[in-house]
């Protein structure tokens, strides 16, 4: 049993925080409880009308309590995909990630998660981003595996590791495009910096598989590649338990890439209406889902922090995107990996640097995150950070869908989403067929629906529950 604390609201009022386990503090007040996680672990909190319990294992919580499903969370996931929130797929079960605080009472709850406000970080005073990245990677004798995609973020991490002699760079590749431009760029960067480099070719047949030892907290498209990525990393570290795996995950969020409506909102705020409309048109073309498609990003991170009006809506959305990146890293780093994961872009100092850049100032200059690219090129006296386009792994996922089309079609037809009419089965089946036939773009709602059904199937197997319930 991994329940570590149980209390009723107001049962033992104490203003002084009580440390339950290292890093987890609880304050019990007259009508509420305040939980703060200042450590490195993730905790799970089950709230009830009379009190709450805290768990270290989601698997054990679900086996013991078998909570009902949270339909609001699931519907939001199907519409908007991954999101940062204290809620989970199960009703009245909350996540408490590092650097977050959760306030509970008998009828409501709220969550605070602002990682850029950690102690020691001050707005307005920054080191160079190249220095910040280098400082964010722990100095240790452990061998380093660098996930080097060939994009701006992983290239920046590669330069931050320059001078180390124990770095193995790995680049994921589509089996039908092992020499794509981003792979070739990654190979060149690794050679320039003196790193050993391997091209790790994905196996489409292994995508959509979830390893039994993983205990994911929520549906996510990231689940689709989790088993294959873990296998390739473990092959690279060759059984060494002290290995450190470093990647640039989070940079696309903190520097507003892929395109989001953040710059458009700030352009409007600064009265640059013509530029805002032109930029929004480029967003519609990028997302390819109609004129309202870019507005789906307005809901990213819903439920974080205080709900209030903002005179700078672009900056508020930027904060939510940063929260999303930090949240993802906090969760995905703790799914049973047998190695240490480091995400330098979401260290507090880098977050504050990203927040210092006005989102709208460089719109229309044909390079996203221009201030960061320019700063890195100038610092390292190179043009390696000037690349804009990068290949992707859509082809590998299309072949995975081709190989498993019948299985995935049955999953969509018989799954939780279909049973509770969260999506139209016919629409999902058409989108699945189009992807199997090689459509240029896989429908995002299909990917969200598949992630939901695979997630619920995985937890049914882990918990021994034939069918999770919506009603309590």
CA distance 186 to 156: 11
More confident call, 46 vs 221: 46
* pLDDT computed for residue 119 by the predictor: 60
Using alpha carbons, select from 53, 55, 51, 38 the residue that is nearest to residue 99.
38
By three-state DSSP, how is residue 170 classified?
strand
Q: How far apart are the first and last CA of the chain?
A: 23
What is the band of 213 on the pLDDT scale with cuts at 50, 70, 90? Answer: confident
> Taking residues 243-254, what's their average pLDDT?
91
* pLDDT computed for residue 347 by the predictor: 93
What is the band of 148 on the pLDDT scale with cuts at 50, 70, 90? Answer: very high
Q: What secondary structure does DSSP assign to 15-42, as a single string?
A: EEEEEEETTEEEEE-SS-EEEEE-SS--
Tokens of 203: 């196996």
Count the residues in the chain.
472
* pLDDT computed for residue 36 by the predictor: 95
How much is the CA Rg of the chain, to the nearest whole Å? 22
* pLDDT computed for residue 300 by the predictor: 58
- How far is CA 305 from each of CA 111, 317, 456, rounded to the nearest angstrom? 6, 12, 28
Of the listed ranges 2-6, 204-208, 276-280, 329-333, the least confidently predicted one is 329-333
Residues 6 or more apart whose Cβ sits within 8 Å of residue 424: none
Of the listed ranges 5-19, 52-66, 201-215, 456-470, the least confidently predicted one is 5-19
Tokens of 469: 């319930």
* pLDDT computed for residue 389 by the predictor: 62
* pLDDT computed for residue 426 by the predictor: 96
Q: What secondary structure does DSSP assign to 362-391, as a single string?
A: TTTSS-TTHHHHHHHHHHHTSSTT------
Tokens of 424: 């139209």
- How far is CA 344 from each of CA 98, 258, 270, 451, 461, rounded to the nearest angstrom? 16, 19, 32, 27, 35
- How far is CA 424 from each of CA 250, 405, 420, rounded to the nearest angstrom? 33, 17, 10
For the chain, percent of residues with pLDDT exceeding 90: 45
What is the band of 304 on the pLDDT scale with cuts at 50, 70, 90? Answer: low
Q: What secondary structure does DSSP assign to 390-444, as a single string?
A: ---SHHHHHHHHHHTHHHHHHHHHHSHHHHTTSS-HHHHHHHHHHHHTT-SS--H
* pLDDT computed for residue 178 by the predictor: 83
* pLDDT computed for residue 222 by the predictor: 84
Residues 6 or more apart whose Cβ sits within 8 Å of residue 383: 377
Cα 125–126–127 angle (5° rounding)? 140
- Domains recognised in the chain with CATH numbers: 3-113 (no CATH), 129-254+321-380 (3.40.50.620), 404-463 (no CATH)
* Cβ proximity of 232 and 257 under 8 Å: no
More confident call, 239 vs 450: 450
Strand partners, 113: 100
Q: Determine if residue 260 is left, alpha or beta; phi over 0 gives left, psi from -120 to 50 gives alpha, anything else beta.
A: beta
* Cβ proximity of 218 and 454 under 8 Å: no
* pLDDT computed for residue 440 by the predictor: 74
* pLDDT computed for residue 309 by the predictor: 53
What is the band of 463 on the pLDDT scale with cuts at 50, 70, 90? Answer: confident
What's the chain's average pLDDT? 86
Of the listed ranges 83-87, 152-156, 304-308, 332-336, the least confidently predicted one is 304-308
Residue 117 has pLDDT above 80, yes or no: yes
What is the band of 80 on the pLDDT scale with cuts at 50, 70, 90? Answer: confident
CA distance 98 to 320: 16
DSSP E strands in 206-345: the ranges are: 244-246, 340-342
User: How do residues 316-353 score in pLDDT, each as one tens digit?
Assistant: 788 888 888 898 888 877 766 778 899 999 999 999 99
Q: What is the model's pTM?
A: 0.89
* Cβ proximity of 123 and 355 under 8 Å: yes
Residue 303 has pLDDT above 60, yes or no: no
* pLDDT computed for residue 421 by the predictor: 93
> Taking residues 169-180, what's their average pLDDT?
88
CA distance 348 to 461: 38
* Cβ proximity of 326 and 250 under 8 Å: yes
* pLDDT computed for residue 238 by the predictor: 82
Q: What secondary structure does DSSP assign to 175-207, as a single string?
A: TT-TT-HHHHHHHHHHHHHT-EEEEEE--GGGT
More confident call, 214 vs 6: 6
Residue 239 has pLDDT above 80, yes or no: no
């Amino acid at each position: 049993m991994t329940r570590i604390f149980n209390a009723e609201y107001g049962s033992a009022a104490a203003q002084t925080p009580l440390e339950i386990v290292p890093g987890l503090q609880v304050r019990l007040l007259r009508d509420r409880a305040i939980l703060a996680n200042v450590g490195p672990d993730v905790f799970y909190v089950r709230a009830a009308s009379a009190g709450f319990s805290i768990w270290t294992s989601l698997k054990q919580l679900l086996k013991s309590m078998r909570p009902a499903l949270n339909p609001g969370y699931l519907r939001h996931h199907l519409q908007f995909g991954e999101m940062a929130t204290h809620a989970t797929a199960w009703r009245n079960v909350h996540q408490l990630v590092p650097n977050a605080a959760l306030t509970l009472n008998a009828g409501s709850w709220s969550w605070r998660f602002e990682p850029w406000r950690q102690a020691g970080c001050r707005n307005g005073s920054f080191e160079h981003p190249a220095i910040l990245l280098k400082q964010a990677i722990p100095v240790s004798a452990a061998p380093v595996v660098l996930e080097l995609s060939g994009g701006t973020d992983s290239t920046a991490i590669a330069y931050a590791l320059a001078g180390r002699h124990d770095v193995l760079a790995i680049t994921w590749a589509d089996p039908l495009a092992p020499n794509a431009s981003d792979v070739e760029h990654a190979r060149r960067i690794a050679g320039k910096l003196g790193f050993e480099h391997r091209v790790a070719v994905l196996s489409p047949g292994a995508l959509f598989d979830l390893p039994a030892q993983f205990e994911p907290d929520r549906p996510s498209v990231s689940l689709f590649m989790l088993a294959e990525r873990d296998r390739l990393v473990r092959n690279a570290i060759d059984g060494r338990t002290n290995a450190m795996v470093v990647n640039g995950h989070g940079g696309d969020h903190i520097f507003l890439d892929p395109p989001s409506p953040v710059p458009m909102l700030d352009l409007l705020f600064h009265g640059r209406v013509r530029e805002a409309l032109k930029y929004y048109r480029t967003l519609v073309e990028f997302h390819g889902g109609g004129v309202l498609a870019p507005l789906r990003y307005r809901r990213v991170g819903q439920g974080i922090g205080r709900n209030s009006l903002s005179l700078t809506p672009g900056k508020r959305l930027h904060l939510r995107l940063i929260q999303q990146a930090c949240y993802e890293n906090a969760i995905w780093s703790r799914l049973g990996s047998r190695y240490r994961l480091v995400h330098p872009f979401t260290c507090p100092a880098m977050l504050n640097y990203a927040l210092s850049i006005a989102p709208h100032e460089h719109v229309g200059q044909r390079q996203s995150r221009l201030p960061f690219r320019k700063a890195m090129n100038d610092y390292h006296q190179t043009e390696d950070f000037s690349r804009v386009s990068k290949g992707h792994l859509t082809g590998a996922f299309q072949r995975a869908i081709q190989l498993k089309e019948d299985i995935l079609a049955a999953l969509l037809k018989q799954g939780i989403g279909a049973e509770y009419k969260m999506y139209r089965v016919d629409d999902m089946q058409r989108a699945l067929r189009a992807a199997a036939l090689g459509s240029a773009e896989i429908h995002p709602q299909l990917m969200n629906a598949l992630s939901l059904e695979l997630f619920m199937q995985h937890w049914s197997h882990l918990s021994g529950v034939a069918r999770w319930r919506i009603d309590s």
